[in-house]
Chains A and B, each alone.
Chain A
Amino acid sequence: DGGITQSPKYLFRKEGQNVTLSCEQNLNHDAMYWYRQDPGQGLRLIYYSQIVNDFQKGDIAEGYSVSREKKESFPLTVTSAQKNPTAFYLCASATGSYGYTFGSGTRLTVV
């Protein structure tokens, strides 16, 4: 079955650590996206990529970095510069102007 896989499901980070969230899709979608969701809040765009080896900052890119070396993969690194990283992170992919397919998300907690 085609889909989008995020791992891990839960992640704990110590202060000052960088952590990387994985996002893999086998839908052959060109575009991939990272969103952050805080409790009771909507979705805020962190980074997006519409083609391999190219990506753009979203509304809240500070403290995050991404890469897009392969069409299937769009990992997100939460750096120590991100002051409030505890949140639910959602990866999505899309083709054309049709609906996004979301992964099941990663819940990141700073300990």
Chain B
Amino acid sequence: GQQVMQIPQYQHVQEGEDFTTYCNSSTTLSNIQWYKQRPGGHPVFLIQLVKSGEVKKQKRLTFQFGEAKKNSSLHITATQTTDVGTYFCAGPLRQGGKLIFGQGTELSVKP
């Protein structure tokens, strides 16, 4: 069936270092969404990308949607301790449109 895979599962960085998580779908997606879940919290919607090759920025976060609309990445420049949490990508299933989530990348930042 349709799958969304995310790597790495865990990433430990020193504060100030950059961080990237990658998302790959087994099928072409109409859009890709990114969520952040702080430790002990719930997922919070960050952004949606729709167009092939689209790049969007939110301060230190850069989101990219691949040309084939099957992969995406989230890059954080100069991480801060406030970036700690798990980042999930999600794409809609072809049938029904409900989201299928990747397994998430857990980011820890050492001050």
Q: CB within 8 Å of B: which residues of A?
A: 31, 33, 40-43, 45, 48, 50, 56, 58, 90, 92, 97-105
For the complex of A and B, the 8 pairs showing the least CB-CB separation, nearest first, are: A99-B45, A42-B103, A102-B42, A43-B101, A102-B43, A105-B42, A42-B101, A104-B42
Q: Is the CB of A42 within 8 A of B88?
A: yes
Which of the residues A42, A48, A97 comes within 8 Å of B104, measured between beta carbons? A42
B11-19, B66-74, B92-100 - the one binding chain A: B92-100
Q: CB within 8 Å of A: which residues of B?
A: 30-31, 33, 35, 41-45, 47-48, 88, 90, 92, 96-104, 106
Cα of A50 to Cα of B47 in the assembled complex, Å: 22
List, sorted by A's number, 26 A–B pairs whose CB atoms are closer than 8 Å. A33-B98, A40-B106, A41-B103, A42-B101, A42-B102, A42-B103, A43-B101, A45-B98, A45-B100, A50-B96, A56-B96, A58-B98, A90-B42, A97-B31, A98-B48, A99-B33, A99-B35, A100-B33, A100-B43, A100-B99, A102-B42, A102-B44, A103-B42, A104-B41, A104-B42, A105-B42
Chain A, residue nearest B30 (CB): A97
Cα of A97 to Cα of B92 in the assembled complex, Å: 8
Chain A, residue nearest B98 (CB): A48
**Residues of A contacting B88 in the complex (Cβ-Cβ under 8 angstroms):** 42-43
Q: Say how far A58's CB is from chain B's closest CB, in angstroms.
A: 8
